[in-house]
Chains A and B, each alone.
Chain A
Amino acid sequence: MSLGVKSKRVLTRLLQAIPTVFGILVVCFILTRALPGDPAAYFAGDMADEASIEQVRENLGLDQPMPMQFVTYVGDLLQGDLGVAISTGQTVTQELAKRLPASLELTLGALLLALTIAVPLGVLAATRPNSWVDHLCRFLVTAGVSLPTFFTGLALLYVFYYLLGWAPPPMGRLDMMFLPPESITGFYTIDSLIAGDWALFKASLAQMALPLITLALFTLAPIARMTRAAMLQTLASDYVRTARAAGLSRRRVLVTYAFRNALLPVITTLGMVFSFVLGANVLVEKVFAWPGIGSFAVEALVVSDYAAVQGFVLSMALLFVALNLLIDVTYTLIDPRVGEDS
């Protein structure tokens, strides 16, 4: 297969994301319009009379027909205008820009941690069935699936903060004693490393450790399980038998023949796992007072701050689309069969 065919396939996949994004915009728009209550009355305040509510309605553009409102909405979005969050008084864009890196640092960190543990664990468990590694894998998977994240989070806090005192208090991203590093990526750990500030790096990592482990424990279960199952399947396949009969080294049989094939279903699972993590994130942020968009969304929901909720839903959906796109493109690059009939 030539490189041209591949890049064409990747491009096609990218174009396929456009309708999805449009669909998300429509749903987001309708969702907030469909929610009960009159935003104009809400914005006008308790003391408003009919006339002033009408006035507010006009100001907000809510007197326009729906399609016009949608066009205005999309236009505003294109300029990065998501509206103003009532609870904080700042624009939603600003709030998200401030909080998104915090959530991403946690989510991606957890995903990375889960991957580095789960994939080798799954491979080892599959190559040594019924050994202690296999049992450990089974134990971790069961624990990860059956324990809710808020419970794991609280249990870890109780043991490592309250009883042992190893972990810092669950008070956000950084201890009061430190100032956040100059924002480059928005990830405190990376930014502090760029600034060369070791103490700051350690402090931010310490804050992140418990929420990271909580999320990772939850995330690694499906990945380890999928890796183990996929490895078992490829190890029993005809082509692994051929490779063994050809006298290839154990390493080559395991890595090039079994593992690379087993990776395909694992990559597919990652997309799904990511959506779990995004959901779990909201709870974990709440438990550890992490100033991410998850806790922001919960607070916004409680006070019916529609612009903020809308912004949250939109950004999460886009994030999810982007990650799935990335996974699909990776898949296309790894598996030569994608896009072929039969």
Chain B
Amino acid sequence: MTPPLLDIQRLSVDFATRRGTVRAIDSISLSVAKGETLGIVGESGSGKSVTSYAVMNILDRAGKIAGGKISYGGMSMHKISERDMRDIRGREISMIFQNPRAALNPIRKVGQQIADVLVQHNQATRATARAKAIEMLLAVKIKDAEKRYEAYPFELSGGMCQRVVIAMALACKPQLLIADEPTTGLDVTTQKAVMDLITELTAQFNMSTILITHDLGLAAAYCDRLLVMEKGHVVEQNTSTALFNAPKKAYTKQLLNATPHRDSYVRDLLTPDQRAKALTLPASTEPGAALLSVKSLKKEFGKPGSGNHHIAVRDLSFDIRKGESLGLVGESGCGKSTTSSMIMRLLDTTEGSIEFLGQDIAAIPAKQFARHTLRGKLQMVFQDPTDSLNPRWSAERSIADPLLRLSPDMPNADRQARVLELATLVGLPVELLNRFPHQLSGGQKARVGIARAVAMEPELLILDEPTAALDVSVQAVVLNLLEDLKHRLGMSYLFISHDLNVVRLLCDRIIVMQHGEIVEQGHAHQIMDAPQTDYTRSLLAAIPHPPASDASVAETAALIQDGAS
């Protein structure tokens, strides 16, 4: 057997913090063979990114390798000088990061940034760098490469920026590519395009790849071998098919379970213990009369004819009935967030009506709606649980906020009792109520946001990607909480997301949007199983398809082909 390209033996990394030394990864061992694709999967805090920073020797000042060996092609990386390390970075091993737009220098032309790497590693001279950089832009399938060379990152879309980062990483044809959450924050279709591109190029250059991700499905679909990490330890490693279909360790099973599949129900995401405690959901209830009725809604930005004129939403009509959950799905820029802002009356409409509880609220200017009597009946849960809480307010103060604003006459004792009741309702331990956002975990912050939203007993709750920033196991719990609350409080949901698998779990009906218009709508199972339009089919096909067990391989292959055609 040939020696592995990268071999890590019992590596430990410590971080110096104000509370003393914290061991981020503890004695992990892994290896990557030439041409192999390894997936490192784990939730936040598992140490998966730290591992890659340690390999590249770009840990920040507080981090230090505390023990173990890293060898690359026979070289001991932990002993190498910084100067030699610089030659290895970018030429032998390179990296792709999360959040591509931030990963590029905002005031330097993207082409020049690629050229910088080429010149640094003697792959080009100043004279030939431009031509070679354009060659790389073409290799990552950027159209109009000649012109894009001159673009600045802010002029490009997220997916386009990630292509540029890939071009930078692959410019010097390295042996090993480390991709750290390369598609987090990108749309599913962009994710598929980026991942396919990485797979194609690494195969073409016969490179090894380490894919670091929190998404087991994605890792399983693109990697030969998977390694699951938890709290700085390796939990399990195996080939993708084996790990995905026959996980051995409890943590892997839990992680697999919590990842929404095509045919899982919302309760399936929970661990058996959690499931035993969950309340039984009533059999499907028949939705009542229309609660919200949107007719010919339109939103234009800028003046017609001017350079920045843009129609975000054009002629949108739909109903949400009492007790119903409606999913609004589409890629970024399709107008789904604009729609939710208009319904929330945060944004004035250009045309159309929004009838809520029998009253046309589109006519009320956004500025005045905050004092309207219907305001309490319409609430929202936001995407980022951290950014949507005031950092200087305790959890209690945040939850009490709508009560203070919308029922100012409520006696203090009643309000405190109500906050306690709400905390219990959303499963937030009461002793955490006086903590501040930075002292709470992501899941706890999400609970605070939900408690705040349901404080006024709203009729309609708008959920704007409420779990996009959460780990899968936390997402599973939050989705179940939302499902429980809906039945307990008799609310209706408008669920906005780009992830069809997640939307499907909570929603009865789904609307697919593109370019500000409805492309397709129907019952959730109908959209998922028998999509009518190409656009919906392409969205479905872009969801990563993990390798199935032998029995269902043929079936899956057929599905993929269907999706691709």
Contacts and interface: CB of A to CB of B under 8 A. Distances in A.
Interface of A: 1, 129, 236-239, 241-250, 252, 256-257, 260-261, 264, 334-337, 340-342
Contacts of B86: 247-250
- Say whether chain B's binding surface is mostly helix, strand, loop, or mixed: loop
Given A1-B152, A242-B165, A256-B116, A335 B107 contact: yes
Contact of A248 (B88, B99, B120, B152): B120
A247 B106 contact: no
A237 B102 contact: yes
Contacts, number: 85
Interface in B124-178: 150, 152, 154, 165, 168-169
B94 interface: yes
B102 A239 contact: yes
Given A241-B103, A261-B105, A337 B169 contact: no
A99 B523 CA distance: 82
26 contacts: A1-B150, A238-B97, A238-B99, A238-B102, A239-B102, A239-B105, A239-B106, A242-B104, A242-B165, A243-B116, A245-B89, A245-B94, A245-B97, A246-B94, A246-B120, A247-B87, A247-B91, A248-B117, A248-B120, A249-B86, A249-B120, A252-B120, A257-B108, A335-B107, A336-B152, A342-B154
A246 B99 contact: no
Contacts of B103: 238-239, 241-242
B116 A334 contact: no
Contacts of A241: 58, 97, 103
Interface in B93-118: 94-95, 97, 99, 102-108, 116-117
| Nearest 8 Cβ contacts at the A-B interface | A247-B90, A247-B89, A238-B102, A246-B90, A245-B95, A242-B103, A239-B105, A336-B152
A248 B107 contact: no
A341 B102 contact: no
A228 to B, nearest CB: 16
A77 B266 CA distance: 78
Contacts of A246: 89-90, 94, 116-117, 120, 168-169
A152 B61 CA distance: 38
B95 A252 contact: no
Given A242-B168, A246-B168, A248-B116, A337 B105 contact: no
B308 interface: yes
A142 to B, nearest CB: 24
A37 B539 CA distance: 79
On chain B, which size bracket covers the interface? 20 to 34
B105 A243 contact: yes
B106 A337 contact: yes
Given A237-B102, A238-B97, A238-B99, A245 B107 contact: no
Interface of B: 56, 58, 60-61, 86-91, 94-95, 97, 99, 102-108, 116-117, 120-121, 150, 152, 154, 165, 168-169, 308
Contacts of B308: 341
A251 to B, nearest CB: 11
A73 B169 CA distance: 65
A239 B121 CA distance: 19
B81 to A, nearest CB: 13
B107 A260 contact: yes
A245 B52 CA distance: 11
A212 to B, nearest CB: 33
A259 to B, nearest CB: 11
Contacts of A336: 107, 152, 154
Given A249-B86, A336-B154, 13 more contacts: A239-B102, A239-B105, A244-B89, A245-B89, A245-B94, A246-B117, A246-B120, A247-B86, A248-B90, A260-B108, A264-B107, A334-B107, A342-B154
Contacts of B102: 237-239
Given A246-B120, A249-B120, A337 B90 contact: no
A248 B116 CA distance: 7
B107 A337 contact: yes
A333 to B, nearest CB: 11
A337 to B, nearest CB: 5
Which of A129, A242, A248 neighbours the largest number of chain B CB atoms within 10 Å of its CB?
A: A242
Nearest to B104: A239
A247 B121 contact: yes
Given A337-B152, A340-B154, A341-B308, A245 B58 contact: yes
Contacts of B108: 256-257, 260
Nearest to A237: B102
A129 B61 CA distance: 10
A252 B107 CA distance: 14
A244 to B, nearest CB: 5
Contacts of B87: 247
A171 B357 CA distance: 82
Contacts of B117: 246-248
Contacts of A237: 102
A245 to B, nearest CB: 4
A260 B120 CA distance: 19
Nearest to B109: A336
A342 B87 CA distance: 37
Contact of B56 (A129, A245, A337): A245
A1 B165 CA distance: 21
A261 B102 CA distance: 13
Contacts of A261: 105-107
Nearest to A341: B308
Contact of B88 (A236, A247, A252, A264): A247
